[in-house]
Amino acid sequence: MTPPQGDCVTDSKPTNATPLPLQGVRVLELGSLIAGPYASALFAQFGADVIKIEPPGHGDPLRKWRKLHRGTSLWWYVQSRNKKSVVLDLKSDEGREIVRKLAAEADILVENFRPGTLEKWGLGWETLSAGNPGLIMLRISGYGQTGPRRDLPGFAAIAEAMGGLRFVTGFADRPPVRSGVSIGDTLASMYGALGALMALHHRNINGGKGQVVDVALYEAVFGVMESLLPEYSAQGFVRQRSGASLPGISPSNTYECSDGQHVVIAGNGDALFRRLMQAIGRDDLATDPGLAHNDGRVQRNDELDAAIGAWTARHDIDEVVRVLERAEVPVGKIYSAADIAADEHYRAREMLEEHVLADGQRVTLPGIVPKLSATPGRTRWLGPALGEHTSAVLGSLAAGKKERSK
């Protein structure tokens, strides 16, 4: 919807009574773990009514992933905040019938099963869209809904390999490595959430109908690989692993300080480079005409890295950061979880949310991104107990049917 003429953003601080931007949007979440559930988590954080379907017994396997607190994953409380947990057996006729009824009232359905699974259960696009022509179905899978690999299982690790990310990650003299998080899943989730909202806008504003948003994990990774493909197609250049540096952009690397800690320094803009060289006492490099622009600096990258590394090796990390921040050169300590939890900027930006679990255990959750000035997202409740909302949701569904039959 477009805002009425004359509406404007004011300086008043939003409160818990402020309407959330996705209020009134109904989302039905099927699937488990990361890619599908993280997409619906983004909707839930901004006010969508998200009903998460979980299998009986142990529910979503994410409930048991990573560090647990009294049997439940701490990750679960983050990713499933603001969602309603409903237990249904999708392999039963009764469970599938309830899903069809819920889908008939949904705006968006999110699923990340292997292609063909929902069709096998009688819950495919053709069936559900017949009962709800306005339905948007977000389908996230390893390889997409079409193509020769569509039926293969695919996790983020495989997608990061096929999408080109793993090949360029790490050091040239060692095997490829991964990042410490399932980045392929979260990239697919964000592409999926964006696609679903575009489809919703088309339906609501352009008079369109519902549609399928098809996201492949490997394509989400491939989509952020910058100039990887055109460099190969035009020049036959295959980008290799380059460690902590940024290939073709100089100087930008990680350097060791005198206290053994590491700092990231990015002096790869022309003016930034001059300020960096002056700050480390290398006016000769700052004024060298051959280093005035990036293409010249790339040719002498090893020389520049050696000069910067020699300077950082003589100072502890706090001094390095202090000097370069004063010179307005991008610089940063490599943060651990402990560094994040203690950082005043994180706290000032409300990126450290303090909550209390049911047993009184205090826990800090990441704040919500992005920040909307008038209608920011918020945490209304933490990840629910398994089936916590089953009775309420199914009761509401039955009441709605009774109301419609009058």
Could you give the residue numbers annotated as active site? 185
Buried b (16+ CB within 10 A) or exposed e, 190-209: bbbbebbbebbeebeeeeee
Q: Closest by alpha carbon to 397, among 33, 86, 125? A: 86
Taking phi first (over 0 means left), then psi (-120 to 50 degrees means alpha), and beta for anything else, what does residue 107 get?
alpha
* Burial class of residue 261, CB neighbours in 10 A (0-12, 13-18, 19+): middle
Q: How far is CA 252 from CA 80, 248, 297, in A?
A: 37, 10, 11
d(CA 196, CA 253): 37
Q: Closest by alpha carbon to 141, among 207, 58, 213? A: 213
d(CA 288, CA 166): 36
Q: How many residues does the chain have?
A: 406
Q: Closest by alpha carbon to 98, among 406, 395, 404, 405? A: 395
Question: CB–CB of 111/128 below 8 Å?
Answer: no
